[in-house]
Structure formats: C-alpha cells, structure tokens
Amino acid sequence: MKRIIPFFILVFLSVASMAQNGTDVFFSEYIEGNGNNKALEIFNPGDVALDLSAYRLVYSANGSQWDMNWRSFPSGSFIPPKKTRTLANSQFTAVGFSLDDADELDIPPFSGNDAIGLMRISAVDTVLVDVIGIPGVDPGSGWDVAGVLSATANHTLIRKSSIEKGNSNWDISRGTNEIDSEWIVKPTDFADSLGRHFFRPIVLISGIKLSNTGQDSIKTDRGTLQILADILPITATDQKLLWSSSQNLVASVDQNGLVLAFNDGTCWIRAFTMDGSGMADSVKVTTLNQSGTLPVNSITVDGLAGQDTIFLNLGSLQMTAGIKPENASNKAIEWDVDNTDIAGITQNGILTAKRNGKVLVTAKSTDGSGVSGSALIVIIGQFSELGSISALRQAYRADGTVFKITSETVLTHQVFNRNIKYVQDEGAGIEIDDPFGKITTGFKEGDGITGLTGYLEENYGMLQFHPTEDPGPETSKSNILTPILLTVDEFNDNIEKYESRLIKINQLEFDQSGEKFQELQNYTLRNGADLIVLRTEFANADYLNLSIPDSANITGIAIQLNATPKIAPRRLDDIDVLPLPKTDNADLSANKIKIYPNPVSSILYISSVRNIGKLDIRDVTGRIFQEVISPGNNVRVSMGNLSAGAYILTLYYSNHKECFKLIKENQ
C-alpha cells in the first residue's frame, strides 16, 4: 500500500476504523461542467452506515501530486446503506439538481485535468479506495473515458449500477469503450441523477440450455435453423452469449443463434456465456441436400502496407481485407466504422479522417457466415480551419476538436506562468494557455502570429486556447496595439465580446486608494455609480507593491472569472494616473491657485487664496517624494533633488483636495 499522506499529518488525523462489512464508499457521480457546475457524489454500497471520518478526499491540480492536498469530511458525516452523499459548488446552477439537496457546499475547485481520490485512513497507513484521474499526470484538457475524448472535462460521469466497489486503477476504471468502462458519459451539465445512485450488483448466469425448436437437421439447400437458449436465472445481469460452430464448412451460426447450412455434414453449435460465469451448452445439427459452397471463415483487416495511423488533415487510408479461405464461394464484404464523427469509409475500403481520435474499422462477409474482422486506426493531426478568432469562439465545443486560425492574430501580452499569451484580431481575442510549451517561437508584443493550431477549453468562464504545435516565426512585427475605448457599462454588459482583448476605460476612481497593489487581488473602481473590477492578474507586474492612486485611466486585458468581468493591467504604463491637467500661470480653479513655473527645474511656487492644509508631491506610481504640513497659502518648494520626469502635486484643503501634473526638468 502506498503511503500518500505524510506521517506528521496522520498524527493529527482522527483515528478511524476500517470500513465495516468489508465495503468502502466510492464515487458514483462526477460533474465537471460549465463555470461553477462542479459536483461529486459518493455512494455506500454496504449494508450498514459508514462514517466518512474514516476517509479523506484527496486531489491534485494540473499534474501535481496530492501528498498535501486533502480535505476531511464534517463530523457526523454518515452515509446510510445504499445511499449517497453529494458535494457541490455553492454556485452550482445546472438544471436538474437543487442546492438544497446537497450535503456539502465547500467542494474543492477542480477542472477536467485534475485527479480526485477517496482515501481510507488508519493510524498507520492509507488506502486509495477509488480515483478519478491519475495524480502527477496532466492529460491536457481531460482524460478519455469509455472512448469519449477528454470526458473528465465538460461532462458528467455516472458509475454503472453494476459496480460494487471503487477502483484505484484509473485506466481500468475508465476503460476504452462503453462496454469495458465502469462509467457512463453524459453531456455537459447533466445533473438529473445527482444525489441518487441506482445500484444493481451483477447477477452471474448459473446455467444455460440450448434447444433446436424440435429439429436437429437442415434439409434445404442453404437453409437455416434457429437455436434457442434458456438462461438461468432469468435475472442474470449480462445474458449475452458467444456462438460458434465446430465445422464452419458445414454450417455457420450468427450471434443470434441462427444456423446457416453450407455443405452436407454434422456440426456442433455451441453457446458460451460472456459474463465470466463460464457456463456453456451445445447441440448437434446435421445438414442434408446441400449444393455445396465454401464460406468465409476468417477476415483480417489492415491499413495498406500495415499503416495504422492517419497523420494528414482530412487524410485517407486504403483499408485491406484478407479473406480465408482464398477460394471462398463469396468473398464480397461490407465496410463499416464504429464512429462516423471521427472518420468515414467507402465500400471500396477508403477510410477518410474527420477528427482526432480512434476508430474501429470492420469488414463483414456478405455470404451469410457472419464472419468479420476489425482493425483499430488512430487519427491525429486533424483540424478545422477557421478564418478569425470570432469564428473560433463561435465554433467552441468541449470535445477536443482541434482548430487552426488561418488569419493573422496579434500578440498583446504574455506572461511566463503557463506560457500564457493573449492574441487578438479585428473582431475578437483569445487567451492562449500553453503549459507544455508547444509554442517555441519567441514572440514579442505586437508580433503577428498566423496559423495558431490547438483546441479550446473553458476555465471558470474564460475560453482558453491550448496549442498543439508551434505556428512558426512571426508574420509581422511592431503592430500598433490600440486598446478599445469602452465605458464601464459597455464592458460589464458585453464581456464575451471583449474577453481577452486589449481595452481601455477612462475616469475611474479606486475605492482602495493609498493601499498597495498586491498580486492576484481584485480592486473596485468607480465611474460615478458604475462599478468595475480591476484584477492584478499578472505575476511580477511592475506596479505590484506600489501605491494605488485615487483615480486613473486604465488599460488592460479583459478577463472574467465565474462570469465576473475584470480588467487586468499588464504593467505600470497601463495605469494613467488622474487628474492630469496642463497647468501654467493662469488661475487653476475657483480657489485662485497659481503654480509656476511648470515645467520646473529648481524652485516651484504655489499661491492659493485659501490656506493649504497639506501638500505632497508623488511620482505616477503614488510614491511620495515631498510632503509639507500646513504650508499656508504661499509656498516655496525645492524641486532640485528630484529626477526629471512627471509628478503629481496634491493640495489638501479642509473639505477637498486638488491634483495637478508637474513636469520636472534637469537643472
């Protein structure tokens, strides 16, 4: 057993007993949907109530390990036998489930590429009893489940009713198709079954008896005979049978028990259970008066020259079928694929790719023998070409479809963390999330990028583009980045239109003026009664830890988090401190203020009709360089020790203050 939680943490954990009657809880439903629609359902399959204090919910994010990422359940969290416990996000809105029915509302935030596990805790060890995903592995947007690409992202997973316990092996649990998977994949935001789990353990077949409807022979040329199968008990879960003939040259049998005669002779028709019970039965069939044909007994399917992958976008592959015996009377076949969304096939065996994925190609004999052969073909390198970012955003679907933007986009900002980039064209913008460094070209702001290729994913409201390859060198340089000038209402009401684009909003006042900008914080700004949120989204921005001004014109990237629009300045230049009037020797306000000379090199003179309570001189970041208390109404301020540049002069009166821009020149 793997020790997951360090010993020093276990010391502080409450000691819990082993699960009673040999059962453990397990995940019965998982929802990773739009926005805040995240939920987990935990099921107790046993015959007695289970205390969740014996368990921990462990999780990892973006390929991290979960050694320190865990949470316990509230005291008294018992799950009655054959009942569930539901954990949901407090802002869960998917139709079909009411938050009033949730047992807990503090579920850890997770995305489709995050692993989540259930751990049973004892005083000396830990046991992983169930898991969704693999800790330490980042699958991209999500893991495939039951053959559905990236099914842990923007889907609902429901545990099959026959599953009786959890599975610590995710690859076995998720399976490769809808048959071998322990899960049923439902569309995004499906929540109709959340909070109630249908549990029906597997009932194995205990016996099988074949009968031939009163006949034991086929006396007409190419005649048929239906074999019936009685299965016990009638409540057996999986009643599928595997049929076979001991002599295919005499007669074949299809998977419904229908026998087809080919030549005179005798054969045994056998049916074998497929549920693992090992039950089987046989009947003898005699064929007479047959004219004699040679049926197909095997078909081998391959791609031409052994190729099993299509690499080119919309590429094709000639499939081949090896038929035995070579002198079979009828060698005609029918071609088919199991997923026409991924690829199509003609009756000449030409397979044409549509989307990335895997497709099972089958060739079936048409001679009535029921013989077929299949091959799994992998399809990669597929993409849909789009002419703009607007078309890209409109084409979004959470299924891993790869898109290529054929037009030029312009880089407006980039940060080191996850190789985040923001690009835009004339109509829209998109955030590029590139944690694996697929883009290797060293682009600069203002560079034009053509041929961006990748897939889309929504992350807490932001539409993200995950590149799958490097687009190559820039296609233009030094493009002028002109922000879109908006009002607060225009921005707040149309975030989807402006998301990830460079925008500007003027005349904004900070509620938190005088404080310091801190990383990854939200700050409220006002324009009259209209409010907007500024987000310090970008690590190591040069304005962090500097003073917040009273007011400013703000330029930044339009982002959103859980449907809340926010503007994220890229750097100090994006914060244009206000007010910035041009001053000279003229009267500057009703207070008859004179400030001169401006620009100033040495001594600044200030004259005011009213007494000034205090004045200070700051740079554009808000850092104070000069401060004078009770200077009166005629002030002489030395500026010689200040570096050349722009400064803000603030005059404080008894009931208001006034700000002015100063230009300091070298002496």
Q: Could you give the residue range(s) of every CATH 2.60.40.3080 domain in the chain?
A: 594-664
| Mean per-residue pLDDT over the chain, rounded | 89
pLDDT for the residue 584? 43
Q: What is residue 124's predicted lDDT score, i.e. its pLDDT? A: 65
| Residue 216 zone, left/alpha/beta (φ > 0; ψ -120 to 50; rest) | alpha
Domain covering 7-186: architecture: Sandwich (2.60)
The CATH architecture annotation of domain 594-664 reads Sandwich (2.60)
Q: How many CB atoms lie within 10 A of CB 156?
A: 26
Kindly report whether the peptide bond that precedes residue 579 is cis, defined as omega within 30 degrees of 0: yes
Pick the CATH number of 207-287 from 3.20.180.10, 2.60.40.1080, 1.10.3720.10, 3.40.50.300: 2.60.40.1080
CATH number of 298-379: 2.60.40.1080
Residue 579's pLDDT is 53
Would you give the end-to-end CA distance of the chain in angstroms? 76
484-578 adopts what CATH topology?
OB fold (Dihydrolipoamide Acetyltransferase, E2P) (2.40.50)
Q: Does the predicted model carry a pTM greater than 0.85? A: no
pLDDT at residue 622, rounded to an integer? 74
The domain covering 384-467 belongs, at the CATH homologous superfamily level, to Nucleic acid-binding proteins (2.40.50.140)
Which secondary structure element, helix H or strand E, spans residue 220, and what is its range? Answer: none
From-to residues of CATH 2.60.40.1080 in the chain: 207-287, 298-379
Question: With a cut of 50, which residues of the chain have pLDDT below it?
Answer: 1-21, 580-590
Rounded to whole angstroms, the Cα distance separating 337 from 59 reads 38
Please tell me the predicted confidence (pLDDT) of residue 235: 87
Specify the pLDDT at position 68.
61
Location of each CATH 2.40.50.140 domain in the chain? 384-467
Half-sphere exposure of 477 (CA within 13 A, CB side): 4
Cα torsion 171, 173, 176, 180: sign: positive
Q: Residue 491 belongs to what H/E stretch?
A: helix 488-493
At 22 the pLDDT is: 56
Q: What's at 5, amino acid-wise? A: I
The pLDDT score that the predictor gives to residue 397 is 81
Reduced to 3 states (helix: H, G, I; strand: E, B; else coil), residue 38 is strand
- How far apart CA 100 and CA 114 sit, in angstroms, is 27
